Structure 1
């Protein structure tokens, strides 16, 4: 009798994401425990000009604040941003910009192969690989961030290639539960970012997207019963492909989940509990704050509802009760 054949293939050797002509390399489709995909081919050549998307998104969660920084180039423009949420007062600070043709923006071809940076009149963001992790710096009128997202030895990071076709595909690295240390300054007041009480999460993307797409994304980081737990769940945008972006990381060890998950929540009441379930996943998300964002910049348009709060439930037998993070609903045209 033949045993169960996993629906997703684990890749264990370095591989190029794109072929020399810019199309998807079939050998790149699968998932990894550590970044192995070379993505320098994205953005080169004529295949899909204007559809190539490259970004680094980092979120840092503290007991008092949430901070997110973005360096991105979506093909015909760079769209950097900084977001700060005061968890106690609910006050938000959002600094967003757009630079035609990516002016003022630098992104490495492949993850950790160089710095990422963005400069506009109102915002400066620098993301730099270091020997022990990644240094995140941002400066705006009211905010200054200087944090290292530590990379503990043996810490595994989920990498997934999602193929829509040989011309449209995405490589993502989702990396929660990175201990964060450093400093956040808001309106002149310093807030310590201390290991064990603060966590960094990466969303790294390289690919070529359809013009219109919708997705769910959930993430959380924290300590449960003495173990460091990182949660990563997604939905909708991977449906119909051979890939999912679902996993749980416990003390640095990743367990991949291939099931497509069902997301249940109320667009009429974003503060009501969210349910995420399927296969070995049975989760409830309890919002404490909802960020609403609507962007309309010509061909670029997005509608985002991102709820911040705590997770409860089980993922592959792992309890995630009490870890803090977010769940989001996004509709994007780009």
Structure 2
């Protein structure tokens, strides 16, 4: 599977701009009493307003997908954890990357049938827990979701990270409707300050200020075969304001929803236009380009975290590249004035994923 060469224009025109998405401003249930998508939940929000407690149990069994993914980038290391339940299997991972040497510590577990996994019905509704051979993860929310404690341990590596949401800091929460039976609620929370400790082979490393966390919280009922792009980055503008990038693609095409937005100084600027991705999956360490909706960004990778699993019914192929984002973002504010920011060397990632699940 090869994505378009970044130096060549797409063979097909980019998707037509989506209509402006509805903004959700009050709590709402993702599902109706019969388990189908609640039309009132379709839209985006700046905080996690959607109740997803209806995603679990026997209703829609096999299509229910629930997960918490956290990524933390420090000046010296990158850490990630995944807790997930796919109904018939629990799939977890802990991964640590040392940026100077490109040494990695990692361990994944696929548990069939799913067991020893706890995921709250809705974001912040309780502790998320995963236990498997040689792997232990807990994600503990506090302060109404303003603080998160991330604990993870595998052979050779462990970390204890505290993530703090700054006051009045927007996330991007989106309900993506494929149909009344297939839909997804995702919360992408970027540019979250992180502190704590990491231990590798008995050596302790502090996680200093200037480290950033990204959350991907997901609850939904998915098609069996799906592919997506996802990219995110966090950092600081030249004037000292924080910035977070959040872009996606392919899996939202044709739904009227996107998971695209830029957070500047804690304020989300939603991009309802599907962005265009240009990159070469045969050479993933070449620059990637993402454009549309006021965003013109180049991603320059320095490492490709490649993984592949094929268990028959369940299969996954991922190229998650880490690197630096640079570019510009322009938007029209509520004051009807055009604003533009330039950014450079924002460390983050971009990925190409294909799942059969």
Question: What TM-score do the two structures reach when normalised by structure 1?
Answer: 0.96
Determine which of 230, 237, 240 is the counterpart of 1:224: 237
CA contact (8 A) 2:247 2:259 kept: yes
CA distance in 2: counterparts of 1:263 and 1:221, whole angstroms: 19
- C-alpha displacement of 1:252: 1.2
Partner Cα distance (2:120, 2:74) in 1 = 28
Partner Cα distance (1:140, 1:82) in 2: 7
The aligned residue for residue 280 of structure 2 is: 266
The 5 Å alignment of 1:19-58 reads: 19-46=32-59, 48-58=60-70
SS in structure 2 at match of 1:79: strand
Aligned to 1:302: 316
Query: Does structure 1 retain, via aligned residues, the 8 Å contact 2:131–2:137?
Result: yes
Q: Distance in 1 between matches of 2:58 and 2:138?
A: 27
**Which residue in the other structure is 2:4 paired with?**
none
Match of 1:148, SS state, is: strand
CA distance in 2, matches of 1:11, 1:183: 37
Comparing both chains, which one has the higher relative contact order based on Cα–Cα distances under 8 Å and sequence gaps of 6 or more? 2
Alignment map for 1:107-118 (pairs within 5 Å): 107-118=119-130
What is the count of residue pairs matched by the alignment? 328
Tell me the equivalent position of 1:105.
117
Partner of 1:326: 349
CA contact (8 A) 1:126 1:136 kept: yes
Q: Which runs of 5+ in 1 are unaligned?
A: none
Shift of 1:151: 1.2
Structure-2 separation of matches of 1:85 and 1:212: 30
Q: Aligned partners of 2:137, 2:312: CA distance in 1, in Å? A: 24
Contact 1:76–1:101 (CA<8 Å) still a contact in 2?
Answer: yes
How much is the aligned-residue C-alpha RMSD, in angstroms? Answer: 1.2
Per-residue displacement from partner, 1:93-143 (whole Å, max 9, x unpaired)? Answer: 220001223211000000001000100111000000022410000011111
How far did residue 45 of structure 1 move?
4.2
Is contact 2:19-2:256 (8 Å) kept?
A: no
Secondary structure of 2:344's aligned partner: coil
SS at match of 1:27: helix
Give 1:205's aligned residue. 218
Q: Are positions 1:190 and 2:197 aligned together? A: no
| 1:125 equivalent among 137, 141, 146 | 137
**CA–CA distance in structure 2, aligned partners of residues 119 and 44 of structure 1:** 20
